[in-house]
Amino acid sequence: MTDRPNLPEIAPATDEAVNRAASLLRAGRLVAFPTETVYGLGADATDDRAVASIFEAKGRPRFNPLIVHVVDRTAAQAVATFDERARLLADIFWPGPLTLVLPRAPGAAVSLLVSAGLDSVAVRVPGHPVARALLAACGRPVAAPSANRSGGVSPTTPLHVSDSLGHRVDMILAGGRCRIGLESTVVDLTGPRALLLRHGGVTREEVEELIGPVEVETAPSQAPKSPGQLTSHYAPGLPVRLHATEARPDEALIGFGRNLMFVKGGAVRLNLSEQGDLQEAAANLFAMLRSVDRPGDFSGIAVTGIPDRGLGVAINDRLTRAAAPRPAPLTAQDPDAEKT
Ligand code: TXA
Ligand code: MG
């Protein structure tokens, strides 16, 4: 998009830019920033109006809770109540791609809108140095969903953010491409049984090694605990076809490792990881989906099978949602429209 008059500033993350971004946050403005998972659309989590403007910028219906990003465990404990399981997981995986859903700490200074009416709160200490510098400079917890319009593909570069949000964000702190490229794993510890709400950068097995069995929230019933679990969620504009064993001449084909050799056809052929490395594939996933999401050029996106182990589980989860039947177009007024 080149004809937008008010493109947001994309600033390399110098000390000066980080301080300016922190001031913007404290003034209630929106700043997109890199994390090791995806770019986040940040707002001061203690400021209701700022948090509300996240929903507005994303075109995201209101009742979805947001992740609160904090600089360290101490800051997290001001927001949420930790039990032994939470302490163990935080010790090992923070800073990093794990989000814990915990009871709100009594008197937590976080906007109720962040929790969307629940008495829980999702917290995470991100590992990306720019995110950490920003959180330290800001001195407040920062609410941040992925920095894309609702229902779209999560951004893993600054340009993805400006393409998706344009002038709806006040500043984009640039910190290169996200290393992991998939959102954080979300684990709910509000009840006696740990619940995996979203697959992500940390695998279920890694979590279970520390705290024992973790149940996976399966197909959401009427009231999904985590809106990220809704069926058509990570949806590109073009239809997505999974487990492709061949591609039509007008389809874009995305493969993995040596799989691609056995699949014929495709107007373009991209490999998530020639080495068959799931981590590399996760990091490339959203960027590749975006790069071929061109309805003028292709009729659809065909994807070969991806191994369903380790990070492959999270990749397949995102792909399944991208390929799910699309709901009718959503409007912000639709109370049932829960997409993040
Ligand atoms: O990697 C990530 O987690 C990125 C980066 C920016 O940190 N953030 C992100 O946020 O993906 P978002 O808002 O797109 O996804 C947050 C997920 C949603 O599935 C939401 O429903 C769930 O976390 N969540 C947040 N608070 C919750 C709560 N209190 N109870 C249950 N689920 C919650
Ligand atoms: Mg999202």
- Residue 213, C-beta contacts closer than 8 angstroms, at least 6 positions apart: 193, 194
Do 297 and 267 form a contact (C-beta atoms < 8 A)? yes
Of 111-115, 203-207, 230-234, give the lowest mean pLDDT range: 230-234
Closest C-alpha to ligand 1, atom 3: 184
**pLDDT score of 1 more than 80:** no
**pLDDT score of 319 more than 80:** yes
- Residue 27, C-beta contacts closer than 8 angstroms, at least 6 positions apart: none
Instruction: Give, in order, the Cα–Cα distances in Å from 197 to each of 41, 220, 315, 327.
Output: 21, 10, 15, 21
Q: Are strands 195-198 and 185-188 parallel, antiparallel or unpaired?
A: antiparallel
Phi/psi-derived region of residue 250, left when phi > 0, alpha when psi is between -120 and 50, beta in every other case: alpha
**pLDDT score of 191 more than 60:** yes
What pLDDT score was predicted for residue 140? 98
- Residue 237, C-beta contacts closer than 8 angstroms, at least 6 positions apart: 293, 295
pLDDT band at 339 (very low <50, low <70, confident <90, very high): very low
What pLDDT score was predicted for residue 226? 57
* pLDDT, average across residues 26-32: 97
What pLDDT score was predicted for residue 5? 57
* pLDDT, average across residues 30-56: 93
What pLDDT score was predicted for residue 334? 39
Q: Please, what is the average pLDDT of the chain?
A: 88
Residue of 58 and 209 predicted with greater confidence: 209
pLDDT band at 337 (very low <50, low <70, confident <90, very high): very low
**pLDDT score of 184 more than 50:** yes
The model's pTM: 0.83
3-state DSSP assignment of residue 322: helix
pLDDT band at 233 (very low <50, low <70, confident <90, very high): low
Calculate what percentage of the chain has a pLDDT beyond 70: 88
* pLDDT, average across residues 220-246: 69
Q: Ligand 1 site: residues with CB under 6 angstroms? A: 35, 37-38, 40, 64-67, 99, 101, 115, 118, 120-122, 124, 126, 144-146, 183-184, 186, 188, 197-198, 225-228, 340
φ, ψ at 64 (rounded to 5°): -105, 125
What pLDDT score was predicted for residue 286? 81
- Tokens for 130? 């720019």
Q: Which of 176-180, 233-237, 282-286 holds the top average pLDDT? A: 176-180
Q: Ligand 1 centroid to 149 CA: how many Å?
A: 15
Q: Which of 41, 69, 183 to mutate to test the pocket of ligand 1 (most atoms within 8 A of CB)?
A: 183
